Amino acid sequence: MGTIIGIGGVSRAGKTSLAQSIKKSIQTGTVKILHQDEFIVPIKEIPLINGKTDWERPESLNFTTFRNEIITAIKSFDYVVAEGLMVYWKPEIYSLFDKNVFLHIEKDIFLNRKTIDFRWENEPDWYIEHIWENHFIYGQIPDDLKNVLCLSGQDELLTDIVLSYILE
């Protein structure tokens, strides 16, 4: 059986970059990355905030499909990396993880990174603040989760530290 790795943290903390770096760095074994952002519900089911789609809430994600994909992927890959803002929101997801990584960044770094992130669209300032605040509600490490590797998404060379943790 393979290893399932959860990577959580606020938007722009470096979750996707770390997942991709892990995939490139693992020398023996196959790696599948599952991005939580790819498991959204139909847009009409996502709540609105000030008339804008609120992607920053659990209701925006299909956790059942995400969980099923993790379970399916580990049957075919040596490592499965599940990353996203809310990977630690539901016990039925994070209970699957063999290794847990959480990236944090300071608010000023988040703001700098987010204001130049145009993947979705140019977000208004109030929505960027909403993203920051919601990660404290939906994106934190649960109290019952032990052995979490917490790192700053502002540091260099995270891959070496995370690989040592994963492969121990």
Question: How far apart are alpha carbons 150 and 72 in whole angstroms?
Answer: 27
Contacts of 126 (CB under 8 A, 6+ apart): 50
The model's pLDDT over 111-150, given as tens digits with 9 standing for 90+, comes to: 887 776 655 567 778 888 888 899 999 999 999 998 899 9
User: Which residue segments constitute the domains of the chain, with CATH numbers given?
Assistant: 3-167 (3.40.50.300)
70, 96 Cβ separation under 8 angstroms: yes
CB atoms within 10 A of CB 163: 15
Higher pLDDT, 160 or 34: 34
Q: What mean pLDDT do residues 16-35 have?
A: 93
Q: Compute CA distances 113 → 5, 64, 153, whole Å.
A: 25, 30, 11
